[in-house]
Amino acid sequence: MRSSLISAWCQAKWGSMSTSHGAPNCGWCQAQYNIAMADDLLRYRREFPILDCTTYLISNSLGAMPKGVYDAMHGYAEIWASRGVRAWEERWWMLAAEVGDQIGAIMHAAPGSVSTHQNVTTCQAVVASCFDFSGKRNKVVYSDMNFPSVMYFWEAQRTRGARVHMVETSDGITVPLERLLAAIDEETLLVPISHVIFRSAYINDAKAIVEQAHRVGALVVLDTFQSLGTVPVDVQELSVDFACGGVLKWLCGGPGVAYLYVRPDLGNKLQPRFTGWTAHQQPFNFETGPIRYTDPPYRFMNGTLHIPSLEAARPGAKIIREVGVNKIREKSLKQTARLIQLADERGWCVNTPRNPEQRGGTVSIDMPDSQQVCRELIRREILVDWRPKAGVRMSPHFYTRDEELESAIAAVREILRERAPAAR
């Protein structure tokens, strides 16, 4: 009974590929069945071509490309080639809001509350342009664990009157919550803060930060780049004012699309000064003089839309929604715990929180010669990255097999063994 079930399953899954398989008691089929049943999410592996030839542990940097992107790009070229300029009114103009809603659904945002942009730094600039820094409430509070591009942007706002207050980490892994909350006072205007820290995967207590900000009349800009798609995010439950991130990491959406959620009750009031014709009520009237703002999400956009990237972002967002972030998180916690255990067994330094509630999808491991180890891992088709003060960052996603973690760590051991005589 069980073997016929397995062979039927195998035939359905592998189709013509399984001509040599599918027979009752075929060992290969049984092994595949056992793996798939043990980890239901592995069935999505066939959607990601790169998984056939690499160990892909780098979704913290660039998620694997879904094969649906080939069709999306072909569709884009087809529409441009066949419909020409009519593509704008038939599809492209609406695409920005449509993709915004697809991403928004992953963070429980109301339809129409998410605009799309080219990158997170631009999202921060759009938010900053809604405010005036000349008054008493001009303080901007953030952590030195934020992504540097975002810090560079806010530092540059000092010339516009922003008083930047940076809270420093004491251990290079976490953000000191008490000190951060204490810094958010009645003079604070904005708190741009990463939800998950890119270097260590530490999860900031977004709820506590939003509550403190609201208590004193400040607003929070939550950077969910390293959380959305691997850690559950619910913008409504958090009551967060703004949330932004990009799609190229955990959302498998490729470069060129970032999203900006604006709390709906703020959305119709704010007037971004970083604006353009896309934000106009009648963009095709080409009126002169000041802008007449349209409603969100276009209200927060500005110039001509980034259509190819928007098309490429759709298949990844669809898969993430289908898989479900709760399931992704459940698996991620298990796999990141295993990576930490493997690193501990070898005495390597783990620069990621051990407390699962404080840990995002990445494990940063600093072994000896970690930068060179990273280079050698990539040469061996084990894709990871290296960051100063972090070490090698390994990021399993829903498509990662447990065995890949073991083999990646075994490869590190081998590299270190091979390097040992050279170091002597």
Ligand X SMILES: Cc1ncc(COP(=O)(O)O)c(C=O)c1O
Task: Point out which residues bind ligand X (CB under 6 A).
Answer: 119-121, 147, 149-150, 194, 198, 223, 225-226, 246, 258
Query: Token pair of 38, please?
Result: 């043990």
Q: Which is nearer to ligand X, 29 or 197 (CB)?
A: 197
- Is 218 in contact with 190 (CB distance < 8 Å)? yes
What is the rounded CA–CA span in Å between residue 329 and residue 324? 9
Q: Which is nearer to ligand X, 22 or 63 (CB)?
A: 63
To the nearest whole angstrom, how small is the minimum distance from the Cβ of residue 259 to ligand X?
Answer: 10
Query: Token pair of 318, please?
Result: 């669809």
To the nearest whole angstrom, how small is the minimum distance from the Cβ of residue 194 to ligand X?
Answer: 5
To the nearest whole angstrom, how small is the minimum distance from the Cβ of residue 9 to ligand X?
Answer: 39
To the nearest whole angstrom, how small is the minimum distance from the Cβ of residue 13 to ligand X?
Answer: 35
What is the rounded CA–CA span in Å between residue 249 and residue 244? 13
Q: Which is nearer to ligand X, 258 or 409 (CB)?
A: 258
To the nearest whole angstrom, how small is the minimum distance from the Cβ of residue 242 to ligand X?
Answer: 13
What is the rounded CA–CA span in Å between residue 192 and residue 146? 8
To the nearest whole angstrom, how small is the minimum distance from the Cβ of residue 244 to ligand X?
Answer: 8
Q: Which is nearer to ligand X, 175 or 416 (CB)?
A: 175
Q: Which is nearer to ligand X, 150 or 231 (CB)?
A: 150
Q: Which is nearer to ligand X, 79 or 177 (CB)?
A: 177
What is the rounded CA–CA span in Å between residue 223 and residue 193? 6
Q: Which is nearer to ligand X, 204 or 370 (CB)?
A: 204
What is the rounded CA–CA span in Å between residue 62 and residue 250? 8
Overall size of the chain counted in residues: 424
To the nearest whole angstrom, how small is the minimum distance from the Cβ of residue 153 to ligand X?
Answer: 8
- Is 400 in contact with 57 (CB distance < 8 Å)? yes
Measure the CA angle with vertex 44, ends 12 and 6; round to 5°.
30
Q: Which is nearer to ligand X, 55 or 119 (CB)?
A: 119
- Is 389 in contact with 172 (CB distance < 8 Å)? yes
To the nearest whole angstrom, how small is the minimum distance from the Cβ of residue 61 to ligand X?
Answer: 7
Q: Which is nearer to ligand X, 255 or 264 (CB)?
A: 255
What is the rounded CA–CA span in Å between residue 297 and residue 77? 26
Q: Which is nearer to ligand X, 119 or 400 (CB)?
A: 119
To the nearest whole angstrom, how small is the minimum distance from the Cβ of residue 127 to ligand X?
Answer: 13
Sign, Cα dihedral of 139, 144, 150, 153? positive
The single residue listed with the structure tokens 């691997």 is 230
What is the rounded CA–CA span in Å between residue 324 and residue 359? 19
What is the rounded CA–CA span in Å between residue 71 and residue 94? 19
To the nearest whole angstrom, how small is the minimum distance from the Cβ of residue 104 to ligand X?
Answer: 18
